[in-house]
Amino acid sequence: MAVVLNDAPWSTEPYSIQRHGVEITSCDSEPVQTPGCIQSHGVLVAFRLVDLSVLQVSENAGRLLGVDAHYLLGKPLTALLGEAGARRLQVFLTSEPVDRNPLYWRTLTLGEVPAAFHLIVHSNDQVGLLELEPAEPDAADPDYYSLVKKSMVRLQAARGVHEFCQIACDEVRQLTGLDRVLAYYFHEDGSGEVIAEARREELHSWLGLHYPAHDIPQPAREIFKRTWIRPLPDASRALAEMVPLANPDNGRGLDMTYCSLRGASVMYTEYLRNMNVAASLTMSIRHAGSLWGLIAGHHGTATPFSWQLRAACELLAQTVSLQLASVEAREHECYGARMQAVHLATLARVARDGDLSKLVDPEPSLLEGIHCGGAAVYHQDKWSTVGSVPGPSELTELAAWLRPRVSSAATPQPLFATDRLAEAYPAAAEYANAASGVLAVPLSKTARDLVLWFRPAITSTVSWAGNPTESPTVPGPHGPRLTPRASFALWQESVQGRALPWTTAEREAALYLRTLIMDLVVGRVEDLTAVNAELASSNAELDAFAYVASHDLKEPLRGIHRHAALLKQEIQAGRTLDAQAIARLETVTRLTVRMDGLLDALLHFSRVGRLELQPHLEDLNAILTESIEMLGTLAADARCAIRIPRPLPRVLGDRVRIREVFTNLISNGIKYNDKAERWVEVGYIAPDESTELPLASDTPTVRSQTIYYVRDNGIGIAVKHRAQVFGIFKRLHRRDAFGGGSGAGLTIARRLVERHGGLLWLTSAVGEGSTFYFTLTAAEPEA
């Protein structure tokens, strides 16, 4: 939309206008900085900075000052300002910051028929520029200082960029009294959009109007980047040419970038006329060194913009530019925080229900986070969607195309984003209205599961809101000329199949959501693995219980049954209880005692799995002493020596349970021993000594821990039996051999050690002896 742009031709077609000796062939080559002419309501004098001699004068000097331009050429400025005036100007030039910065110097009465002129001065590359504007007689300017101060306070209160621009438009309109004031924003692609507007009620709104990038040619943008304000008080007034056209010192056209009198492009003024705009005042909004947008005022009749008003607007434009950065930063921050809050809320639902499809459930759904028209989640072989998205089979095909593009092998960031999907993936043209833009993140390394956000085509979301009766073109002296409506149509064409681009903050929010989901999923998998492992071990225990119940416990039961039945028969046969019957009764008693023992061991084992440990820092020597005492006469009866080579360290653990482990291992060492001189040794290996440890090949890494051991010189355990001895009720010998036992001791000892986070294992040489090792804390992960 070119309406605001002074010097900006709006036609996309190359044109050729012979004006002031310059052939203009394309928008971007138009010499807008050196047009060779000025707006003829004032006079421009260019002079040599070194000696104040006149270089160029606008041709209208004769009409406004009564002094012919040719007469002034080459003369010192005294010819125009008088001796005193020229001297004062010299002082002004050296004392004020006038380089590329026009400043009001003074109001002087000048000319053949004396009249008051405001004199505005600046310098540019060894050339002084003096702009003379006729002073309005009796013009009482309002108190601009107070007005601007009030505007600044209002601007400070704005909470977002749109509100900020709206206030800027309102304030400029109030300051200038113009019919319409618009705020334009330049998108990343250079196209523009009207984002705020203040206007006379009867005018059609242009809010939301878009125009293509080439509506504002690069040279015009360059000028807006360097100046704050561009006044065009009377677009229909004829232009006045400079005499001579080029600077005689360097042969170049005069650079009028900073002149408020700079002549406007004919095509632009023609365009304004098409819209019944007679005067325009444009201010630039700059941000971080680039042109962010414009504030443009239009008026239906020619209207003077006094230098005071221009200074006030300039100050406002500077304030707007300065404050914009913080308003925009605040808005980005709010948007970022909102995206995050929505993502966390949806994720909380996912975590609660353990279902990724809950991401698209409402209140809030993904739609309320990153700006989008629709979102889809692919999980467990099905799509869950919200808002406007492609159909299921289209989604599946699109996902197949996206997967290699978001896999970690293809891209450093696991993300794919485009605002013109159909260009890369032509099938998407079919559903451009739903998905011209897509943002995708994978939820796993293989990118099987995905989250997708969709944006509709821009054209489907914006429609022409201007004058409904306006025709696309109107005739002009240089051919048909475009109107805002046509500009809008051109813009629509230029953004065909495109969506609004995804911003950095939005990409980051998508990636962060992905990380959170992955953590959640990985966390759940870990939880599940742990639960599964626990389940597996409980199942194994249950199996063992079932086995024990069916075999080991049944065996004595069968014995009881058989002997009881025989006894019954004998009694029924009328036989008195003879020695055989009594022996049977004794067997029954023995069997029940045995079964009672087995049941006790079984109950104890099951309790070990459930009991709460009471860990304290304990002295192992004391625990060991207690456990030897508990063994009672066993050691003495077996004439077994118990050796303790060095005092044991302190340990964090449950005193009673550790004592049970020692009791079990030591009693086994004493029992399963056929040597004449039996011994059992209890000791430990500190972490730094563990390199000498004769570890079995299947023992895990335990080097960072203290390892305790109970060693004997007994019968030893064959390699093939090493795992079996830890099975419940597993004995390697006849029931009564080696003093008998239930076969539950090692199972329970291992369980107790594991409950402490440690491990229990053994090494052995048959006939020479065995060593049972154990730790009492979890192994630290390897570095």
Q: Which chain residues interact with ligand ADP by CB under 6 A?
A: 664, 668-669, 672, 712, 714-717, 725, 730-733, 741-747, 770
Closest approach, Cβ 731 to ligand ADP, in A, equals 3
Closest approach, Cβ 772 to ligand ADP, in A, equals 7
Q: How far apart are alpha carbons 130 and 43 in whole angstroms?
A: 8
Residue closer to ligand ADP, measured from CB, 262 or 678: 678
Strand pairing class (707-712; 678-685):
antiparallel
Closest approach, Cβ 766 to ligand ADP, in A, equals 9
Residue closer to ligand ADP, measured from CB, 61 or 661: 661
Closest approach, Cβ 747 to ligand ADP, in A, equals 6
Which letter does DSSP use for residue 75 in this model? S
Residue closer to ligand ADP, measured from CB, 92 or 547: 547
Q: How many CB atoms lie within 10 A of CB 330?
A: 15
Residue closer to ligand ADP, measured from CB, 52 or 746: 746
Radius of gyration of the chain (CA): 48
Closest approach, Cβ 768 to ligand ADP, in A, equals 10
Beta-carbon contacts of residue 264 (< 8 Å; ≥ 6 apart): 6, 7, 35, 39, 232, 235, 239
How many residues are given for the chain?
783
Closest approach, Cβ 516 to ligand ADP, in A, equals 49
Residue closer to ligand ADP, measured from CB, 376 or 725: 725
Which letter does DSSP use for residue 753 in this model? H
Closest approach, Cβ 741 to ligand ADP, in A, equals 2
Closest approach, Cβ 653 to ligand ADP, in A, equals 20
Residue closer to ligand ADP, measured from CB, 119 or 725: 725
Write out the E strands in 90-248.
Answer: 103-110, 115-124, 127-134, 180-186, 192-199, 210-211, 229-232, 239-243
Q: Which residue is nearest to ligand ADP (CB)?
A: 741
Which backbone phi and psi does 664 adopt, to 5 degrees?
-60, -50
Q: Could you give the C-alpha distances from 359 to 279, 376, 456, 506, 537, in angstroms and in order?
A: 54, 9, 20, 17, 35
Q: How far apart are alpha carbons 696 and 258 in whole angstroms?
A: 89
With beta carbons less than 8 A apart as the criterion, state whether 19 and 275 touch. Answer: no
Closest approach, Cβ 696 to ligand ADP, in A, equals 15
Q: How far apart are alpha carbons 593 and 599 in whole angstroms?
A: 10
With beta carbons less than 8 A apart as the criterion, state whether 212 and 490 touch. Answer: yes
Q: How far apart are alpha carbons 699 and 702 in whole angstroms?
A: 8
Closest approach, Cβ 576 to ligand ADP, in A, equals 40
Closest approach, Cβ 648 to ligand ADP, in A, equals 20
Residue 217: exposed, middle, or buried by beta-carbon count in 10 A (0-12, 13-18, 19+)? Answer: buried
Closest approach, Cβ 660 to ligand ADP, in A, equals 12
Closest approach, Cβ 730 to ligand ADP, in A, equals 6
Determine the straight-line distance between the first and last CA of the chain, rounded to whole angstroms.
64
Residue closer to ligand ADP, measured from CB, 577 or 766: 766
Residue closer to ligand ADP, measured from CB, 507 or 730: 730
Q: Is 71 helix (H, G, I), strand (E, B) or coil?
A: helix
Closest approach, Cβ 530 to ligand ADP, in A, equals 28
| Sheet architecture: strand order including 127-134 | 37-39, 239-243, 54-58, 43-48, 127-134, 115-124, 103-110
Q: Is 577 helix (H, G, I), strand (E, B) or coil?
A: coil
Q: Could you give the C-alpha distances from 328 to 101, 193, 628, 706, in angstroms and in order?
A: 28, 17, 78, 60
Residue closer to ligand ADP, measured from CB, 664 or 775: 664
Closest approach, Cβ 360 to ligand ADP, in A, equals 57
Strand pairing class (479-482; 640-643):
unpaired
Residue closer to ligand ADP, measured from CB, 351 or 732: 732
Which letter does DSSP use for residue 549 in this model? I
Write out the E strands in 28-73.
Answer: 37-39, 43-48, 54-58
Q: Is the peptide bond before 364 cis (omega within 30 degrees of 0)?
A: yes
Q: Could you give the C-alpha distances from 180 to 232, 489, 507, 624, in angstroms and in order?
A: 14, 22, 37, 96
Largest CA distance in the chain: 163
Residue closer to ligand ADP, measured from CB, 43 or 717: 717
Residue closer to ligand ADP, measured from CB, 364 or 597: 597
Residue closer to ligand ADP, measured from CB, 75 or 604: 604
Residue closer to ligand ADP, measured from CB, 456 or 769: 769
Residue closer to ligand ADP, measured from CB, 40 or 770: 770
